[in-house]
A and B are shown apart, each in its own frame.
Chain A
Amino acid sequence: DAKTTQPNSMESNEEEPVHLPCNHSTISGTDYIHWYRQLPSQGPEYVIHGLTSNVNNRMASLAIAEDRKSSTLILHRATLRDAAVYYCILRWNNQGGKLIFGQGTELSVKP
């Protein structure tokens, strides 16, 4: 399984942008880059995903390096509700498409 590397924790101030990095140097051409988050006492929640191009949705933006070996999840204005563990995961386009969760990045947001 292709692995990802994320910092264990990050801090942000409320209403400031947050850039969450992820390295995935062994990514293969058919792997999609997915981001999920898990708020306390809840199930994982989908945030965004992409293949090669940068992606935007109502929750966040995903910036993907040209060589696809790294990506950055961008929360444009962090709120207290964004405090969660964020997971960067490569999703295969075969073998059942399972997600393998790592430890993720625990984001804390200060008021």
Chain B
Amino acid sequence: EPEVTQTPSHQVTQMGQEVILRCVPISNHLYFYWYRQILGQKVEFLVSFYNNEISEKSEIFDDQFSVERPDGSNFTLKIRSTKLEDSAMYFCASSVDLGNSPLHFGNGTRLTVT
């Protein structure tokens, strides 16, 4: 069964550094998402992406964050200057359509900012 893959599984970075989290969504999917989950807290929506543009973003997704689909397969989340509070699990998800389709999630990248 096709799945969403995320790399790396764990990323350690120093405060102020840029990080890029990578995702390969399922190949025929059109809608892409990033979520994050701080340890012990709920899963939070960051951004949705369709047709090469952001369709919606949360308050968390400020100017430090950006997303890109640089080619036909990858979907990336960039954090320009990481802060300690960016430490979290970051999940990528994709779906083939909207309401009547499930979201398929990757297993996440654990980002640790020191």
Determine chain B's interface SS by DSSP, over half rule. strand
A43-B108 CB under 8 A given contacts A96-B56, A97-B31, A102-B42: yes
Residue of A nearest to B99 (CB): A93
- Residues of B27-48 at the interface with A, using a CB-CB cut-off of 8 Å, are 31, 33, 35, 42-45, 48
B44 A97 Cβ-Cβ under 8 A: no
Of listed B44, B45, B103, residue having the most chain A CB within 10 A: B103
Which residues from B are CB-within-8-Å of A94? 98
Q: Which of A45, A92, A100 contacts B99 (CB 8 A)?
A: A92
Contact residues in A for B107 (Cβ distance below 8 Å): 42-43
Contact B50 A96 (CB under 8 A): yes
User: Is A99 part of the binding interface, using a Cβ–Cβ cutoff of 8 Å?
Assistant: yes
Cα A51 to Cα B35 in complex, Å, equals 24
Residue from A31, A32, A43, A92 in contact with B105 in the complex, judged by beta carbons closer than 8 Å: A43
| Residue B78 at the chain A interface, CB threshold 8 Å | no
CB pair B105–A98 under 8 Å, yes or no, is no
Query: Cβ of B91: which chain A residues have Cβ within 8 Å of it?
Result: 43-44
CB contacts under 8 Å to A, within B6-22, are none
- Complex: A74 Cα to B44 Cα, angstroms: 26
Give the A-binding residues of B (Cβ under 8 A).
31, 33, 35, 42-45, 48-50, 55-56, 89, 91, 93, 95, 97-108
Give 9 CB contacts A-B under 8 Å.
Answer: A43-B91, A46-B102, A49-B100, A96-B55, A97-B31, A97-B48, A97-B98, A98-B45, A98-B48
Chain A positions within 8 Å of B, measured between CB atoms, are 30-32, 34, 36, 38, 42-46, 49, 51, 87, 91-104
